[in-house]
Amino acid sequence: MKKLERKLEENKIKEEKEARDLEAMVQHVEQNLQLMTKRAVKAENNATKLKQENALLQVQLKNYKMENEALRSGQSASLAAVKQNADTALQNLLTVITNSQSSIKQLLSGAESLQLVADLLKSIDRISEVSEDGR
């Protein structure tokens, strides 16, 4: 009977130790579960934050694309204005060249007329010199 009582006592002690070990294991699992829950909540919050940031970046990208298109349109308009100004300047330059050529022709014609008058005046001087000598 004592042997059985001792055996019973040993089994009780063994069961108490196993119960404590099991309780410790349960507590450890609970702690791990709490830690994993915290990590999961943190990850979800981070994912939500990243989704919001992504949405904001998408809006900014759309705005930048629209601004880029507006700048390109403005650049095209500016380029067209520059081309039109260059065409106008070219037309003005061609007009000035034509007028200059006409003026140069008139100057040459005038110079030829003046040369003719100068030649006539020389001839008159020669004629008057001959007439004075011929008397």
Give 30-66 pLDDT, tens digit per residue. Answer: 999 999 999 999 999 999 999 999 999 999 999 999 9
Backbone phi, psi, residue 121, to 5°? -65, -35
Torsion angle in degrees (nearest 10) through CA of 129, 130, 133, 134: -150
Residues 59 and 68: their CA atoms lie apart, in Å, by 14
When the pLDDT of each residue in the chain is averaged and rounded to a whole number, the result is 89
The answer, as to whether pTM is greater than 0.85, is no
